[in-house]
Structure 1
Amino acid sequence: MTLFLAGLLLFQVQHQHHPPRDAAEYARVLEDPSRDAWQKPHEVVMALALKPTESVADIGAGTGYFARRFARHAGTVFAVDISAKLLEQAAKDAPPNLKTVLAAPDDPKLAPASVDTVFFCNVLHHIEGRPAYYRKLATALKPGGRIVMVDFHKRPLPVGPPPAMKLTDDEVIAELKAAGFELKRRHEMLPHQYFLEFGR
């Protein structure tokens, strides 16, 4: 039960329309060391094979759980979130190549052709009007850029929200195909989540 509640809080913290009411509590959940066992952040970062010249946008970055790790390998990392309080946490002791971006619920606030990789983890299903959001991401991507989606499988799991709140991998693939992106690679190392890379 504790793991389930922690997983549900994790989703609530990264909600794209309602900033967390208690950022400190959500920050503790996001940074809980037990998350590493199933989120496998090191394996995820290594699978992306980021380059020192590459720029990454972490959408729904929260406290910077992934953004900090990306910053060790990429050139510039944009931690994008709608919660100023969580971004304050992300900026604490952050390396100089990690930049915070206070976004709007319907706009990531990224400059045109500014990023090579757009990364989502556990936030996609909270974004309403996703087709329009994808169009903004397409503008923000550099030529040859990619979108990476990590999200929970739509079935009962020991972490994460109820299945009704989730999107299946097939739904994500179909939405991005409609937006002009195709599935390029599927990673299988995560026990509870799909991990998909898309390009144009």
Structure 2
Amino acid sequence: MRTFLWFLLAATVLVSPIIAQETAAPVTRQSVKPGINKPFLDPKLEVEEWIERFEVESREIVQAKDEILKELNLSPGQRIGDIGAGTGLFVAPFSRAVGEKGWVYAVDIVPRFVERYGKIIDILHLQNVTPVLCGQDDVRLPPGSIDVAFVCDVYHHFEYPDQSLASIHEALVPGGKLVVIDFERIPGKSREWLLGHVRAGKEVFREEVEKAGFHFVKEASIPTFEENYYLVFER
């Protein structure tokens, strides 16, 4: 069954751009941070290199993984979209949290990351995870297919936030939650790398999400966070 669902979603990913071209009017869009995803679109991308970067213990979200899972408070039977799942740090924990009646969609723009999710599924015998290759402006999940959208250290990589948020909004059920974890960007306080890499601060990102039709719920406190924040929105 898992293989069939994976095949079905992969087929949808392949044909959906063609359908959109045939049925939708042209949409003018402009990147808010041109080139930010260029390293991930390199066909020679080395997954092991990114595992070393993304899953190192010094990274805040790695240190805070258990705290993040506790705050998410996923329930058996829920469906979660890990949007920009990267090297798959949360794939197995999410799979365990939602149980055999729940589902995890591990979503990313990087083909080799998506291939890695398949390997994680096979090695750990996960029966409730579907890898999804998404677009840069569309998460490519069916309408009403998830209860929670998890966007961790990824929102600042949305080149087309209006379109990406619209697709997340459509994928969530009414009342579904959107969790955004990203970096504080405070001139004079944040590291120079963050100031150059992250295009805007928390207030701007929150405004963009609310403009997309989401209701702000709260900012959660994660004790080990120093550079990150955790925002919760509702569809």
TM-score (ref. length: structure 1):
0.84
- How far has the Cα of 1:39 moved from its partner? 4.2
- Secondary structure class of the residue paired with 2:113: helix
Which residue number corresponds to residue 161 of structure 2?
130
Is there any run of 5+ residues in structure 2 with no aligned partner, and where?
1-35
- Secondary structure class of the residue paired with 1:93: helix
Which residue number corresponds to residue 79 of structure 1?
106
- Secondary structure class of the residue paired with 1:147: strand
Task: Flag the 1:91–1:81 CA change in 2: closer, same or farther, 3 A.
Answer: same
Which residue number corresponds to residue 185 of structure 1?
218
Aligned partner of 2:196 among 164, 172, 175: 164
- How far has the Cα of 1:99 moved from its partner? 1.3
- Secondary structure class of the residue paired with 1:91: helix
Q: C-alpha separation between the residues in 1 aligned to 2:134 and 2:38?
A: 9
User: Are 1:197 and 2:232 an aligned pair?
Assistant: yes
Contact 1:146 1:199 in 2 (8 A): yes
TM-score (ref. length: structure 2):
0.72
Contact 2:60 2:228 in 1 (8 A): no
Q: Determine which structure has the larger helix proportion and give its number.
A: 2
Contact 2:136 2:160 in 1 (8 A): no
Q: CA RMSD in A?
A: 2.2
Partner AA of 1:41 in structure 2:
K
Task: Flag the 1:15–1:65 CA change in 2: closer, same or farther, 3 A.
Answer: farther
User: Are 1:70 and 2:90 an aligned pair?
Assistant: no
Is there any run of 5+ residues in structure 1 with no aligned partner, and where?
1-13
Partner AA of 1:70 in structure 2:
F
- How far has the Cα of 1:91 moved from its partner? 2.5
- How far has the Cα of 1:30 moved from its partner? 1.8
Q: Alignment length, in residue pairs?
A: 186
Give % identity: 31
Contact 1:16 1:126 in 2 (8 A): no
- How far has the Cα of 1:16 moved from its partner? 8.0
Decide which structure has the larger Cα Rg and report it. Answer: 2
Which residue number corresponds to residue 58 of structure 1?
82
Shifted more, 45-54 versus 35-44: the winner is 35-44
